[in-house]
Structures are given as C-alpha cells and as structure tokens.
Chains A and B, each alone.
Chain A
Amino acid sequence: MKYSVDERGYYGNYGGAYIPEMLYPNVEELRQKYLEIIYEPGFQEELQGLLRDYVGRPTPLYYAQRLSEKFKAKIYLKREDLAHTGAHKINNTVGQILLAKRLGKTRIIAETGAGQHGVATATVCALAGLECVVYMGKIDTERQKPNVARMQLLGATVVPVTSGSQTLKDATNEAIRDWISNPEDTHYIIGSVVGPHPYPDMVARFQAVISEEVKQQLQEKEGRANPDYVVACVGGGSNAAGAFYHYLNEPDVKLVAVEAAGHGVETGFSAATSVLGTLGIIHGSKTLLMQTEDGQIVEPHSISAGLDYPGIGPMHAHLWETGRAKFFSITDDEAMQSVVLLSRLEGIIPAIESAHALSALNKMELKPTDVVVLNLSGRGDKDLATIINYLEDIEKPNGE
C-alpha cells in the first residue's frame, strides 16, 4: 500500500485539484515547481537554518512521567508547543514563505481558525518583509482574541469573515476568493494538509520534520526509532501528517488520529469528519467531508477553533479508508478535562486542539511496555478565555 501522493495528486481515491480556472495558473505553477524548489540545496540550507535558529528546532521529545504513570504506558510528548509562536504551524509557514519568495510573490494571504496558522504566517511575513492578509471567521476572532492582537502587532491585516458559519471553512473560502482576485503578486499559504494538489503534499513535507526528529530522539531515549503508537489531533491534519510522515510505511507503528466530536458525534454539533463525512469536494480537494444528501457543506462544531473544520485532508481520508490510521473522536468536555489534566500533572497547558489527542489515551488499550509518542501540537495560552469560561460554567451549580 502506498500512502504518499501519486503523480496525479491523489492519495488512493482522495486528492486532486478541483479548482476554478481563475486559480489554475497559480496552482499549476506550484505543482510544477514545488519539489524542485524545496529540494534545491540553497533552499534546504536556508530552511534548516531558520528551523534551527528561528523556530527553535528540534523541539524536545519529553518523557512525561506522571502522565505515563496515570495511563500505565510510556508516554512521550513531542513538544511542538515549544516551537516559535507556540504551535507546529510555523514549520509550514517558514517553508512556504521561502517558496513564495522564490516564486517572486510579494503579497501573502492565509486563512486561520485558532489563529495559530495566522500568527505563524504573520510572523514569517514580518521576517521576510512581505505584506500579509489573514482571513479569520468572525466567531474565531472572538474566541481567539489574543491571536488577533498578535497578528496585528506583527503587521498583518486580519479580515473577519462573516459568511457562512463564520469559522475556518468560510475563512478558507474568503482566502481563495482573494487569490482569485490577486493571481499575480499573491501566494496563498494554506495552513493544513488540505486544498488542491500540491498543497496537501507540500504542507505534509514541511511538517515531516516532526517525525524525522522523533525517530532520532526516540532512538536516543528508547534505543528504537519506532514507537508502538503515534497520536495526533486532526483538524485539516497537518500536525498529524507531520507526526505520521516517516512512519507511514512502518507497519509496526500504529497511527492514531483524533477528531473533534464537539457536543457528541450524534448531536449535530460535531466536527468528526471520519464518522460523519462522505466523499465529496471541499476547498479544491476530493476527500471526506460533512455534507447533506444534496451536497451542501455542513457547518461543524468544536470548542476548539483549530479542529472546527468539516473536512479532513485527502491523505487522512486515505489513511482512514485503508485502516492505516485508527480514528477516535473526542468531545468538547473530554478535551477540556485533558487541558486541566496535563496542566496539573505535567505543568504544561496544552492547546485545546492538542488536548483532544491527549483524551484519546483514555480510549486506547495500552500495555505498560507500550511506547506512545503524542504530538503536542500547540500551547494553550491562546485558549485561556475559552478555558476560563468553560471552567466557570461547569463550577456553577445546576449549570446556571
């Protein structure tokens, strides 16, 4: 079984580039050039230098002793929360900004949900001296306020999106519309392994540094490069793609993808695409998405803005279909319990997205000898307002 993208831009039945003609020249240019540019020695040298000195890589692989005791297995946290700007998103934006410069682009656009990708994009734009416009659902601008302020401080223009559900899906639509209107000077930095080919593959390659480092770090700590499990949350799927990447063809490593169940998979307020989704097209990619029988895209729900997306990247749809990855869905409540748990047990406040991955530990049947690598995709500072509100609400008697 092949888990990487084929020459036509597909992962099995998923992927491709379903885009209007207005986007074709840009996406085609990327398709033709991305591999050549990325693997050019000068590019790699610049990228590796930035990842080391600017992003702060490698990020630690931390043996979480108290967490391990609780779950009775050996649990390592891959500390993407310690990367510059506080999440894995910067691995991708550093790569894409170098690419954009080589394509001669002078203006950058991005979509963002949690604001982490927006911040990571605004950051590299400041670094490169390029204009930056970030589209963000209006609801997300409210629940991730600190990140809006960060983007603005970094010099980006944040455009609140009021169409549709006013979250990540709609921000992505608006970014695509901007690109349609500005095809010549603008590069669109997509924030996850979604969108038309070659984006899913390109973003996965930039995030692959996560598993590349894990292999080496685990070898040093455990005397073996392969853990029994790799666990990651999936919004669009970029941190999971990066954490899985170098293990895709290692069948002894079980891959665990964790989606947001929202209020619960059956409640109508959920973002668990692998359970609720069917084959369709979203943002230029053929993949699993949540839709009505008529093919209208359904508005998802998750307390976590970064997982509040009605699709998953085509690579993950393929991993799901082939059974290569096992999927779990975690409710808002379960995730919030894990936010508190990790804060109290390890002194690490995780992003609510990453807390979904932590909650999956409750559902996995772990043996004491199992080595688990859990990708801690980001830190929770951006979520403080949501977390405080949530805790206040549950502490009120009778939910008043």
Chain B
Amino acid sequence: MENRLVTLFREKRENLLNVYFTAGFPELESTGVVLKTLEAAGADIVEIGMPYSDPLADGPTIQASNTEALRNGMSIRKLFSQLAEVRAQVSLPIILMGYLNPVLQFGIEQFCQEAARVGVDGLILPDMPLHEYEEEYLPLFQKYNLSLIFLVTPQTAEERIRKIDDLTNSFIYLVSSASTTGIKVGGDSKQLQYFQRIQNLNLKNPKLIGFGISDRSSFQLACKYAEGAIIGSAFIKVIQEKENLEQNIRQFIQEVKAPESVSA
C-alpha cells in the first residue's frame, strides 16, 4: 500500500490541516475518540504525540499534556494497541511525534515494525540527527514505508534545507519562529520574510507551518505561504476539557477551516 501521506499530497496541496494531540490525553482512552472526531471534522492529517517525561522542544501546554498522559498510564506499547483497534475506522494519514529516547528503548526496528503494522505513515523525532538517520536508519524507515519528517527553522541554512528536502518524501515541517511550541504566530514582517524565503526555494516537498498556529487567521496566513499548517497547543487547550470533547473538537476545526469571510 502506498504511504497515505504520499497519496494525500498528490491529491491535495493547499489548505492542509494537520492537528497534533498527545496520546492518552485528556484520558487514557481518549486517543481513538479524538482521532475519529478529527477525521470526521475535516482534519487532513493527525500527528499523535507519544508522551515523554522531558519534552525539550515543547512549551508549557504540550508539556502539561505529556505529564498528564503519562500519569494516565500512556506508553508507546499502549498507543500501538489503541491504534491497531481504531485504524480500520479512519483513513487519514497518521504521524507519530516523539523524542528519540523512548523509541530507542522500544528498539528502533521493533518500533518501525509495530508502527507500520498499526498503520502509521510518518514519524517526527525532533532529536534524531540528520546524519545518523541518513547513515543508519534510512533503509529501515524505507523498509517499513515510514516517512521521517524533518523540522526547518528560521535559522536553518539553505544548504541544509536542500539536504532535508532530498531526504524527505512527504512534507517539511516549517517551524514558524524561534520558539518552543505554543508561542503565537504574529505574522510580523521578519516572519513573513522567512516564509517567503522558503517559498522561493521551490522545494520538491510540500511544507506545513507549525508552532503557534492557533486559529482561523493564523491558519489562513500560514496557508498563503505553505501548503498547510499544523495546530498543536491550541488544540490541546480545546481537549483539556473532558466534557463535550467531540462537540468541542468539531466546533474548533470548523472555525479554523471556515473560509475567509467575504467582507474581510
């Protein structure tokens, strides 16, 4: 079967909405509900966070959701069993995001094998060194038809961006500004220049802008400069509320995806 990310990007290359949530949050068994509701509400991709004790690149909101999910008893093993159960009911691409240490403890090959088995399409491992991936793990990821997604930041040199583009077969995660997750995208001139600079590189892979995308206006701004965007912390805030989980998710996604009003 073709990787679902590859299929998606062949068919759609604009206004792509990728939503991040932490597995096992707000409750251990929320993973499946959140996933199904997101697909029904119109998310194009989901990125499921594997909770970690020390999420270095994450701001307070996602940190807190990680802590809570671990307290709920979430683990990679548990996530795989949840995904195995729910995968037949959703067809959108699934990405797992997490830090390298828990994956190493699971065993990288075993992890890839399990991920493939339960229908995962992509992985984001922010602390996986590019050269180590290239030299050691690339064949493994290919064998299991998993796409590793790399981050690009305002400080990433062009040469390195080109290399990342070469090593990628799904999309590039464009970090909106120098920050951890959860800082709002303001759309200041420096940021827009950066988005424009990347757009002008004409990379072969689509780009999704993440970190600080929180609502309709920041989503639309991102979609002007990239093929889509990723919402994380803002969505975690929506699902913090255990009551009316599905309704809140539907409403939030609807608001984010609402077309630009004619009068604006």
In the complex, A24 Cα to B175 Cα: how many Å?
13
Q: Nearest Cβ distance between residue A198 and chain B, in whole angstroms?
A: 14
Apart from A177-B56, A280-B105, A281-B100, list 20 A-B contacts with CB within 8 A. Answer: A16-B129, A18-B127, A18-B128, A18-B129, A20-B56, A21-B156, A22-B155, A25-B155, A173-B56, A177-B180, A180-B57, A180-B178, A181-B180, A183-B153, A184-B178, A280-B101, A295-B52, A295-B101, A295-B106, A297-B101
Leading 9 A-B pairs by shortest Cβ distance: A295-B105, A295-B102, A20-B126, A21-B151, A296-B53, A25-B155, A20-B57, A18-B127, A281-B101
Residues of A near B153 (CB, < 8 A) are 21-22, 25, 183
- Closest-by-CB residue of B relative to A17 is B129
Residues of A near B150 (CB, < 8 A) are 21
Q: Nearest Cβ distance between residue B238 and chain A, in whole angstroms?
A: 22
- Closest-by-CB residue of A relative to B78 is A294
Main secondary structure of the interface of B (DSSP, over half): loop
Q: Nearest Cβ distance between residue A252 and chain B, in whole angstroms?
A: 37
B157 proximal to A (CB < 8 A): yes
Mark interface residues in A263-300 (1 if CB within 8 Å of B CB, else 0). Answer: 00000000000000001111110000001011111000
Residues of B near A291 (CB, < 8 A) are 101, 105
A-B contact pairs, 30 of them (CB 8 A): A18-B127, A19-B129, A20-B56, A20-B127, A20-B151, A22-B153, A22-B175, A24-B156, A25-B153, A26-B155, A163-B63, A163-B67, A164-B53, A164-B54, A177-B56, A180-B56, A180-B57, A180-B178, A280-B101, A280-B105, A291-B101, A294-B76, A294-B77, A294-B106, A295-B104, A295-B105, A295-B106, A296-B53, A296-B70, A297-B54
Interface size on B, residues (CB 8 A): 38
Residues of A near B183 (CB, < 8 A) are 181
Centre residue among A18, A22, A24, A296 by max chain B CB count within 10 A: A22
In the complex, A25 Cα to B224 Cα: how many Å?
27
A182 proximal to B (CB < 8 A): yes
- Closest-by-CB residue of B relative to A179 is B178
In the complex, A175 Cα to B178 Cα: how many Å?
14
Residue in B70, B75, B104, B160 whose CB lies within 8 Å of A281? B104
Mark interface residues in B56-96 (1 if CB within 8 Å of A CB, else 0). Answer: 11010001000100100001110000000000000000000
